[in-house]
Structure 1
Amino acid sequence: MQPFKTLDDADLAGKRVLVRVDLNVPMQDGKVSDATRIDRVLPTIEEIAGKGGRVILLAHFGRPKGTVDKAQSLEPVAEVLSDKLGKPVGFAEDCIGPVADGIVANMADGDVLLLENTRFHPGEEKNDEDFVSALAALGDVFVNDAFSAAHRAHASTEGLTHHLPSYAGRAMQAELEALEKGLGDPQKPVVAIVGGAKVSTKIDLLSNLVEKVDCLVIGGGMANTFLAAQGRDVGKSLCEHDLADTARSILKTAEKAGCVVLLPSDAVVAREFKAGAENEVLPVDRIPADGMILDVGPASVGSVNEWIDKAKTLVWNGPLGAFEIAPFDKATVAAARHAAKRTTEGALVSVAGGGDTVAALAHAGVTDAFTYVSTAGGAFLEWMEGKPLPGVEALKA
């Protein structure tokens, strides 16, 4: 049984349904340049409207810090929503007060309305009770479909659940079900791949994972910090030498928990960081003083893929190398394609997320082959760190 209620449990016909969505999309010259986040919430909007609910969309855009900034208005998004839904989408120039009240009062069953940026009001990020009450007055039911904002206890993500019957939308539901398969109640063995530049940004993540997974693969610049902590010379590679004790402590915790930590055994080394730079593959204990590790080597990829073959569940956050620049994308692409193949064969549940990860999997051409790819960024990372997310906890209550 679900620990939270979904649209299956809600009576929506004739109801004013406040739906928190993530419409914080990239814009160029006043136009939406990537509609991925809009596409993710369409099923929820269509279902509520189809069941006769009056859909009132709540969203933030950018960081206006509680003041009105027309450059961060959601109005251009309403047009894109209208095109994608194939029906008119109304727009209110405020999310509370007489303007919003008047438009909501005139809605018919099945209508869709987008309210202006909730962050134009300081009460949104402060989760201010007066602001929450003003929002709640516009609706009969609350649906949260914005997992990516669930790590914030804001008025439109957490506050509303104390005023209205609350449910998870379809995108939120899909995300939570995928995450449950990834780390909540996964099929073992579980392998986690964690890459990226710095250990300092992922200490909580690594400390949580070594207690939960069977194998932790560490790649990217982070791996250099661990290699240096083991006494290896990493030359001019990106490395946080001041975190050597932290790295050793994580390795000790992993050993106690019976978690295998897989560090690179070989690396792709160059003298300069640029596309097509001359490079060589070297064992990690033979990195020259003027060399930079920019990707894990083929033997290391082989070891990663062997673990992917053993695994029933894979959780992935961060690339194995500097994938943005060829040829330092090879390891990430090879491991991603191998995981995708195992997933499509039905042998692996693969859950991935975080900004660089989404870009890396898209670069490898495997986004659709993974079980689930989260676009949530910060919320995905906090979930992987084992932290409770206020927007999700509120739905459970």
Structure 2
Amino acid sequence: MGLTRIENIEVKSKRVFVRVDFDVRIENGNILESSRIEKVIPTIELLYGKGAKVIIGTHLGNPGGSVNPEYSVRPLIDKLSTLLDKTVIAPETNNIDDWIKKSKDIKDGDILFLENLNYFPGEEENSPEFAKKLSELCDIFVNDAFSISHKSLASTVGITDHVPSVPGTLLYREIETFQNLVNKPEKPFLAIFGGSKVSSKIKILNSLLPRVTNILIGGAMAYTFLKSRAVPVGSSVIEKDFEVLSHQFIDKAGIGGIEILLPVDHIIADSYSKKAKTKSVDRMGIIDGWMGMDIGSKTVSLFEKTIKNAGTIFWNGPMGVIEFDKFSNGTLQIAKAISKSNAKSIIGGFDTVEAVYKAGVENKITHLSTGGEACLEFLEGKQLPGIIALGKERE
């Protein structure tokens, strides 16, 4: 991998800025799902346990580059303090110069949590000036935010021009997992894709063809593939501009001996609503005025057989409209099927990982990635700016 491990650096009495991604769902001040926070605990505990002065930074939502109390990180500070059973110091102002001063005043083993980095337009712009200011907070920078490492931000890329920079334990594990998935997957290698858009997945689908044994496709994106094969899809959401590419992809896979499995039955609805009327239809297609909302029981059984025989499984994207409980069964059943398999399983994508927790099988999955776009771009062979920046030479 060629990156220095955080375990191998001296951090005692040094200010260490850890960039995390705690962009979690919050309602009325309550965090709905905290796995993203929990996964970074080992890095934070390692650092303060060695006597580092730990500074935590994250974004939360999209406040548009200005201060907005609605996007304050205060609920995150409270949650982290509870998880660590340790005081976490909150910022007294939204002024970065005050943060820099505070970072010099905290004691060894203390944790200072900065306010929302997206309060500053320089963060998403990767402003050299803002990156330089961030570097004044620390002696060492740690990136533990794999999920945003495909972006060039001041707090993931720009800052590395100024201070020694290393991956945290979570980021290192993510890199190691996906490098192994790219270079040496145990066969048969099964890829499962769902979600809404073919447009966001067609590149990764094509890039995986030389490596996979089978591909299962569900979710709304399946209807574009089905339409490309002249299967009636009713009023289901499709991407007309990608019908030809979808048709060509299936043909290309067939020539290469790669099995592509599409849904053979569907749970359909007469409207996009949790109160919609529903029914099940088979491979003859979806009737006019109705739309596909989930894979049916026959599709679940078909997919389960392929999952059972896999040596490695990568899954990204739900099988149905999981925000409505009545259309989440297909996704939950696939999660349970993967948990029962003997395959090495890697699952990425916020909604997909959330579904795994909802199914109660998170402890039976080999690796639940914090990345969505980041893991897809890694698998596609792209170099992620936030990771490349950790290995560059500094003046």
TM-score w.r.t. the length of structure 2 is: 0.89
Cα deviation for residue 317 of structure 1 reads 0.9
> What are structure 2's unaligned runs of at least 5 residues?
none
Aligned pair partner of 2:385 in 378, 383, 390 = 390
Query: What amino acid maps onto 1:74 in structure 2?
Result: V
* Deviation sequence 1:7-60 (CA, Å, 0-9, x none): 122111121111111222333334544433222222111110001111111222
**Which of residues 321, 328, 348 in structure 2 aligns to 1:353?**
348
| 1:108 and 2:107 are equivalent in the alignment | yes
1:262 maps to 261
Q: How many residues align?
A: 391
Output the amino acid matched with 1:119. Answer: N
Q: Superposed, which structure 2 residues align to 1:224-303 within 5 Å?
A: 224-269=223-268, 271=270, 274=274, 277-282=277-282, 284-303=283-302
Question: Which residue number in structure 2 is paired with residue 83 of structure 1?
Answer: 82
Matched letter for residue 321 of structure 2: A
Q: In the aligned structure 1, how far is the partner of 2:180 from the partner of 2:364?
A: 16
CA distance in 2, matches of 1:28, 1:66: 22
Distance 1:32 1:301 in 2: 32
Identical counterparts, % of pairs: 38
Summarize the alignment of residues 135-154 of structure 1 with structure 2, pairs less than 5 Å apart.
135-154=134-153
- In the TM superposition, 1:1-397 aligns within 5 A as 2-93=1-92, 97-269=96-268, 271=270, 274=274, 277-282=277-282, 284-325=283-324, 328-342=327-341, 347-397=342-392
Supply the distance in 2 between the matched residues of 1:107 and 1:326 (Cα, whole angstroms): 47
Which amino acid is 1:177 matched to? E
> What is the distance in 2 between the residues matched to 1:22 and 1:296?
32
Instruction: Please give the alpha-carbon distance, in whole angstroms, between the structure 1 residues aligned to 2:112 and 2:354.
Output: 32
Structure 2 Cα separation of the partners of residues 67 and 236 of structure 1: 41
Residues 268-325 of structure 1: CA deviation (Å, up to 9, x unaligned): 445556568452342x235444554333333333332222122111000112233444
CA distance in 1, matches of 2:289, 2:60: 44
Tell me, in whole angstroms, the C-alpha distance in 1 between the residues paired with 2:328 and 2:100. 52
* Aligned mates of 2:281, 2:24 — CA distance in 1: 40
Residues 216 and 259 in structure 1, CA contact (< 8 A), matched pair in contact too: yes
1:150 positional shift: 1.0
Answer with 85-94 or 133-142: which moved more. Answer: 85-94
Aligned partners of 2:189 and 2:289: how far apart in 1? 37
- Are 1:158 and 1:390, in contact at CA under 8 Å, matched by a contact in 2? yes
RMSD: 2.5
Long gaps (5+) in structure 1: none
Q: Distance in 1 between matches of 2:225 and 2:144?
A: 38
SS of equivalent residue, structure 1 residue 92: coil
Counterpart contact for 2:269–2:276, Cα < 8 Å: no
Q: Is the Cα–Cα contact under 8 Å of residues 55 and 112 in structure 1 kept in the other structure?
A: yes
- State the one-letter code of the partner of 1:35: S
In structure 1, C-alpha distance between the alignment counterparts of 2:277 and 2:69, rounded to whole Å: 44
Work out whether residues 265 and 280 of structure 2, in 8 Å CA contact, stay in contact via their aligned partners in 1. Answer: no
> Using a 3 Å threshold, how does the CA distance of structure 1 residues 254 and 50 change in structure 2: closer, same or farther?
same
Do 2:192 and 2:216's aligned partners in 1 also have CA atoms closer than 8 Å?
Answer: yes
Whole-angstrom distance in 2 between the partners of 1:96 and 1:162: 22
State whether residues 215 and 261 of structure 2, in contact with CA within 8 Å, keep that contact through their aligned partners in structure 1: yes
After superposing on structure 2, the runs of 4+ consecutive aligned residues of structure 1 that deviate more than 6 Å are none
Contact 1:95 1:118 in 2 (8 A): no
Local SS of the residue matching 2:315: strand
Amino acid of the residue matched to residue 55 of structure 1?
Answer: V
- Which amino acid in 2 is paired with 1:193? I
- AA aligned to 1:199 is V
**Are the aligned partners of 2:377 and 2:384 in contact in 1 as well (CA < 8 Å)?**
yes
